[in-house]
């Protein structure tokens, strides 16, 4: 089960790490740690069927994996996600996260620094298999004057290049969250647009949320965690609103001291708004206190724009597809083929139509 105080926002823990055939040209250490880390993970895999048949293994582990296999089957049969070897093996990695992602921005910008890789294109973070390496990279960026956020990740997708295993880190989630995570990562295998993280992550986030809703309904658990999901949406909207205010403020022609004061004021406001939301609307639910207790900066807000920005647009696209998953995936793929400006205009129109419902 997920640890009670580990809710650094689920969206921070889901990201693709560019490990695909990470060929190191010239002996670069970053690519080396990616290749070595992923190969180690692959060596730790064992078939889920073998674990389920081994009565010496933990009954709780076997129960969790059996439940995950049901969700895995639903993903392919109902959500029309890839039917392959991914999430049909298991790896006990012996640590709480599989990688740690480092996000960074300039001190007066909410736009993430981009990192470009073969195949994956440009993404808004760098991933490290060792937490110490991630913290060291973050420290170097801070010395350069950047805003930095380090977030642990409990799963990632190799986009179908490898059969991704279920990881012990993923089992820190409850059964419903684990099912959603499987849907999310398989969605990346179905459609991934290199160089447009917001498109790819919003698409996968919509598949996760709508897929989980249908998975719960099939099992007679409709509305099982509706309150949790509603609070998460409210929190994300709060964070995105703060991000937009900062974006607008940074765009103004202000002296550096005034920009710094604006930044401090906005993060103070964000904390006040969160406490009001928590205490007045959520009855004192403190599951997100840990996130707000850490030092907040521009980089802290980056994952939310990536994972949630176009979710309403994909909800509208699914509705326009008549709730047919195959038609929805095809329509999303057609969007991905558009030039960036045309694609974003189309997504904006879809999001506006969803907001009017």
Tell me: the pLDDT tens digits for 25-35? 334 678 888 88
Looking at residues 326-332, what average pLDDT do you find? 98
Q: What is the pLDDT of residue 9?
A: 36
Q: CA end-to-end span of the chain, whole Å?
A: 36
Q: Residues of 314-325 as b/e, b for ≥16 C-beta within 10 angstroms?
A: bbbbbeebeeeb
- For 135, the token pair is 């913290």
Q: What is the pLDDT of residue 16?
A: 39
DSSP string, 86-101: TTSEEE--SSS-SEEE
Say whether 152 sits in a helix, a strand or coil: strand
Asked if 167 contacts 193 with a C-beta cutoff of 8 angstroms, the reply is no
To 10 degrees, the CA torsion angle through 150, 155, 161, 165? Answer: 150
Asked if 130 contacts 95 with a C-beta cutoff of 8 angstroms, the reply is no
Looking at residues 255-278, what average pLDDT do you find? 96
Q: What is the pLDDT of residue 35?
A: 85
Q: pTM for the complete prediction?
A: 0.83
User: Of the given ranges (38-42, 85-89, 189-193, 244-248), which has the lowest mean pLDDT?
Assistant: 38-42
Q: What is the pLDDT of residue 160?
A: 86
* 12 CB-near residues (< 8 Å, 6+ apart): 151, 152, 153, 303
Residue that wins the pLDDT comparison between 286 and 118: 286
pLDDT digits (tens, 9 = 90+) for 175-228: 999 999 999 999 999 999 988 888 999 999 999 999 999 999 998 877 667 788
Query: Looking at the predicted structure, is the pLDDT value of residue 171 above 50?
Result: yes
Q: What is the pLDDT of residue 356?
A: 81
Percent of the chain with pLDDT over 70: 90
Residue that wins the pLDDT comparison between 31 and 92: 92
Query: Looking at the predicted structure, is the pLDDT value of residue 124 above 50?
Result: yes
| Average confidence score pLDDT of the chain | 89
Q: What is the pLDDT of residue 230?
A: 86
Q: What is the pLDDT of residue 228?
A: 81
Q: What is the pLDDT of residue 118?
A: 67
User: Of the given ranges (77-81, 307-311, 347-351), which has the lowest mean pLDDT?
Assistant: 307-311
């Amino acid at each position: 089960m997920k640890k009670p105080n580990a809710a650094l926002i689920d969206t921070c823990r889901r990201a693709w790490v560019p490990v695909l055939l990470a060929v190191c040209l010239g002996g670069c250490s970053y690519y080396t740690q990616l290749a070595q880390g992923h190969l180690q993970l692959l060596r730790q895999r064992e078939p889920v069927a073998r674990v389920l048949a081994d009565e010496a293994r933990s009954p709780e582990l076997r129960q969790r994996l059996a439940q995950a296999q049901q969700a895995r089957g639903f993903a392919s049969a109902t959500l029309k996600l890839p039917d392959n070897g991914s999430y049909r093996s298991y790896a006990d990695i012996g640590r709480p996260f599989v990688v740690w992602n480092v996000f960074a921005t300039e001190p007066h910008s909410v736009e993430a620094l981009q990192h470009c890789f073969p195949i994956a294109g440009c993404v808004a973070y760098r991933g490290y298999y060792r937490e110490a390496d991630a913290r060291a990279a973050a420290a170097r960026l801070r010395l350069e004057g950047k805003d930095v956020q380090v977030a642990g990740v409990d799963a990632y997708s190799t986009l179908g290049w490898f059969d991704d295993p279920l990881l012990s880190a993923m089992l820190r989630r409850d059964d419903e969250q684990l099912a959603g995570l499987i849907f999310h990562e398989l969605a990346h295998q179905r459609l991934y647009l290199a160089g447009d993280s917001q498109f790819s992550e919003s698409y996968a986030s919509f598949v996760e949320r709508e897929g989980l809703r249908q998975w719960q309904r099939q099992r007679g658990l409709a509305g099982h965690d509706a309150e949790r999901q509603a609070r998460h949406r409210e929190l994300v909207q709060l964070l995105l609103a703060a991000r937009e205010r900062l974006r607008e403020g940074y765009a103004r022609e202000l002296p550096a001291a005034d920009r710094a004061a604006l930044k401090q004021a906005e993060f103070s406001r964000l904390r006040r708004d969160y406490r009001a939301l928590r205490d007045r609307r959520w009855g004192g639910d403190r599951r997100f206190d840990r996130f707000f207790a850490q030092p907040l900066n521009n980089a802290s807000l980056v994952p939310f724009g990536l994972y949630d920005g176009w979710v309403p647009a994909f909800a509208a696209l699914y509705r326009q597809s008549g709730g047919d998953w195959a038609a929805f995936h095809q329509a999303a793929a057609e969007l991905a083929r558009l030039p960036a400006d045309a694609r974003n205009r189309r997504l904006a129109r879809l999001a506006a139509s969803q907001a009017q419902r």
